[in-house]
Structure 1
Amino acid sequence: MSVPGERPHPVPTPLTEPYWASCRAGVLSLQRCASCRRYVHFPEERCPFCGAGSPAYEPVSGRGRVVTHTTVHRPFVPGFADLAPYTVAWVELEEQPGLRAFGGLLGHPPGADAVGMPVEVVFTELPGFGPIPDFRPRREGER
């Protein structure tokens, strides 16, 4: 639960707790279907591709490219005013076409074009909650 004026916190559920536990360990993990081997994100009870049940969480590289982004200049959600301007991005992860993760884009000038930019996951401490995934630019060839 969030305190008025601070950033809202995610609310882990039994379905999402393994994701957040992985973030606390500094690893990005997403569900992967044991039957069709497709990654699933956001978390689902069943694989949306083949219908198999209970996709397990597996670590992913956290590397990908920015598909789209927006820069927030005037936040309307309490707790974000001191961050503005800030950029949030959809990132297509390298593990699978169409597999996207969402997070802040750090270390890149707000408002500057970032589409196609190679990025990697980093974890930002959300006070009162723990680490959450964000992304930062990565140079081509960097592993």
Structure 2
Amino acid sequence: MLLPVPDEDGLPFWEYTARGELRVQACTACGRLRFPPRPCCPHCQSFDSAWRQMSGRGRIWSYVQPHPPLLPAYAALAPYNVILVELAEAPQIRLAGNLVASADAPLDSVDPARLRIGAKVQVTFAEVGGMSVPRWLLEKS
């Protein structure tokens, strides 16, 4: 399984996920949220930033079910889904992840028929290779 490789700009994101928090970088000069993290605001060019906690709610903006050939690290996990989640309080930010039945459930734990664009989801965190990785659960109606 491939694991994230945190860089200097993204390291705080992973430190927050280890605490069970979903946070995104915000420019303290203009207030705009940005992801992926980077040193300079693409809107006002300020280097001042802070990390804002998100509710962890969003909706599926898009999804795919990868088909072979896959990277060898993922071939044994297929079939599985990959979703793009549009954050509720920051619709311009979309995070990639997997829709699962529970935090520690396998990547193929949700019936593909339940995947739909616009479905409401809530973040959860799974320990993968010593890192806390965001995954997504369908919100209960």
Deviations 1:18-69 (A, max 9, x none): 0111111111111011122111011111111222114222211110000100
Match for residue 94 of structure 1? Answer: 88
- Which amino acid in the other structure matches residue 91 of structure 1? V
Residue identity (%): 34
* Cα gap change, 1:45 to 1:66, in 2 (>3 Å): same
TM-align CA RMSD? 1.6
Q: Which amino acid aligns with 1:126?
A: V
**Aligned counterpart for 1:55 among listed residues 49, 62, 67:** 49
Alignment-mate amino acid for residue 126 of structure 2:
T
49-58 or 61-70: bigger deviation: 49-58
Please give the TM-score of this superposition, normalised by the length of structure 1: 0.84
Distance of aligned partners of 1:78 and 1:55 in 2 relative to their CA distance in 1, 3 Å threshold = farther
> Residue 32 of structure 1: which of 18, 26, 29 is its match?
26
Identify unmatched segments of 5+ residues in structure 1. Answer: 1-6
Give the Cα separation in 2 of the matches to 1:104 and 1:47.
Answer: 28
Extract structure 1 runs of 4+ deviating beyond 6 A.
none
2:136 is the counterpart of 1:135: yes
**Distance in 2 (alpha carbons) for counterparts of 1:71 and 1:40:** 27
Q: Give ranges in structure 2 of 5+ residues lacking alignment.
A: 102-109
> 2:29–2:48: 8 Å Cα contact kept in structure 1?
no
Query: Is the 1:33–1:39 contact (alpha carbons within 8 Å) kept by the matching residues of 2?
Result: yes
**Conservation of the 8 A alpha-carbon contact between 1:24 and 1:131:** yes
TM-score between both structures, scaled by the size of structure 2: 0.85
